[in-house]
Structure 1
Amino acid sequence: MEVDFTKLDQRDRYRLLCSFVAPRPIALVTTLDKDGTSNAAPMSFFNVFSQDPPLVILGIQVKPDGAPKDTITNIRRSREFVVNMCDMAIAQQMVDCGINFPQSVDELEVTGLSLAPSRQIQPGWVAEAPCAMECRVAQILEYPRRSIVLGEVVQMHVRDECLDENGRYVRPDKYQPIARLHADNYIVSDDQFELLPTAALQSARTA
């Protein structure tokens, strides 16, 4: 099957892209509104793209009526946000944070999540998250119905048990993030395996 994306309806483009580019990690993004109320929103158009500088990228679409979402409104104003990674322990709260609450509602409060103070920025981070990254905006690319936010990570909070005794490597038995597949389907990374280059090919390359 061949699919011409230049002629395809945007809903079908979304369906195909999200079904095949998967699993996608989920960012539960926390921000502050102009009155100091916390906002939390899950996003699966998210990933890390660089370590030098340390950059993460968010893709934030407008609401169905074309209005900007609270998250991007807050980010444009404050230039700060936190990416909170999600595991099974907070999976339901993450999904519930995606409900279209009124702007004045604190999603963390209504879902039972706790907010911890950040070190370098104003928005707090989710205390129950296995990992959280404080970010400052490096750049925002604007499209008619989507904003692409490049954020520079300035601080990371990590649950102690997620790292080995040297604090360098993730323990796969303790850090098992969830990711989105398609529609309302998710996956957890609880069946991990190690895969190395073929020894003979590696030897031939370095010979």
Structure 2
Amino acid sequence: MQLFNLDDEHKGKAYQILASLVAPRPIAWTATRSAEGSVNVAPFSFFNVFGSRPPVVVIAPGDKEPGVPKDTARNIRESGEFVIHLLDEPLVEAMNATAAEKDYGDSELDGLGLTLADCDHVSVPRIVEAPAALECREHTTLRIGKNRLIIGQVHRVWAREGLFDPKTLRFDQEKYAPIARMGSPDWYARTDDLFSLKRPD
């Protein structure tokens, strides 16, 4: 096997190595609002759900440049609120468009034809076309070196009609095919080729 020394020789390649191997990763299409009211949306694949009591998620937006947080992190620090959207294939082009660097305060949603709606618990709007949206408030932000880990508590969940049975809350996996992030720089995966495997007793 090939060995990578992330403490020394391959330190500068850590992102490329880890982001390629630790996959597929869910994409947090994250909406925030600036103090001036502009809605910012950006995708992050350093993301996952990390607990349910209370329900918490973690996203890790990097810096625009050394010491300068991305707009998402800046807005969360100022307001304490954000909305994470999960996305499926019809939204891939829009998601990719929102990854472009823009000046602070310029909305990435301009011209994308997406619909915004009010949330129930936070002031940040949600994208109606997304199959799911998680209304979050910042719990803690950890700094580990140049990494910024934003831990958010999920207070409300919006899910597309038909994903959950309204009476039993049983989830219909066949109706949900989120897009996942694969290796750097440009790889993604579809999740419509699934199999079921029961856990042993």
Same fold at TM > 0.5 = yes
* Aligned: 1:50 with 2:26: no
Runs of 5+ consecutive residues of structure 2 not aligned to the other structure? none
For 1:23-42, what aligned pairs fall within 5 Å after superposition? 23-42=24-43
1:24-173 map, 5 Å: 24-166=25-167, 168-173=169-174
Shift of 1:10: 4.3
- Report what 1:196 is aligned to: 198
**Deviant stretches of 4+, over 6 Å:** none
The match for 1:187 is 189
Q: TM-score, normalised to structure 2's length?
A: 0.93
| CA deviation after TM superposition for structure 1 residue 86, in Å | 0.7
Give me the identity figure in percent: 35
**Alignment check: 8 A CA contact 1:108 1:114 kept:** no
- Following TM superposition, by how much is the alpha carbon of 1:164 offset from its aligned partner in structure 2, in angstroms? 3.0
Q: Normalising by structure 1, what TM-score? A: 0.91
| 1:8-41 residue CA offsets vs partner (Å, 9 max, x unmatched) | 4444111110111100000100000010110000
Gaps of 5+ in 1: 203-207
The answer to whether the 8 Å contact 1:97/1:111 transfers is no
Structure with the largest fraction of helix? 1
Q: Deviations over 1:82-141 (max 9, x none)?
A: 000010011110111010012221112232222110101111111110000000111100
**Rounded Cα–Cα distance in structure 1 between residues aligned with 2:196 and 2:163:** 18
> What SS class does the counterpart of residue 172 from structure 2 fall into?
coil
The one-letter code sitting in structure 2 at the alignment partner of 1:60 is P
C-alpha spacing 1:8/1:102, structure 2 compared with 1 (3 Å): same
* CA deviation profile, 1:123-162 (whole Å, cap 9, x unmatched): 1111110000000111100234221000000001111122
Cα 1:141/1:65, change in 2 over 3 Å: closer
How far apart, in 2, do the equivalents of 1:43 and 1:11 lie?
20
Displacement of 1:196 after TM fit? 1.4
1:4 aligns with 2:5: yes
Question: Which secondary structure state, in structure 1, belongs to the residue aligned with residue 73 of structure 2?
Answer: helix
* C-alpha distance in 1 between matches for 2:12 and 2:19: 11
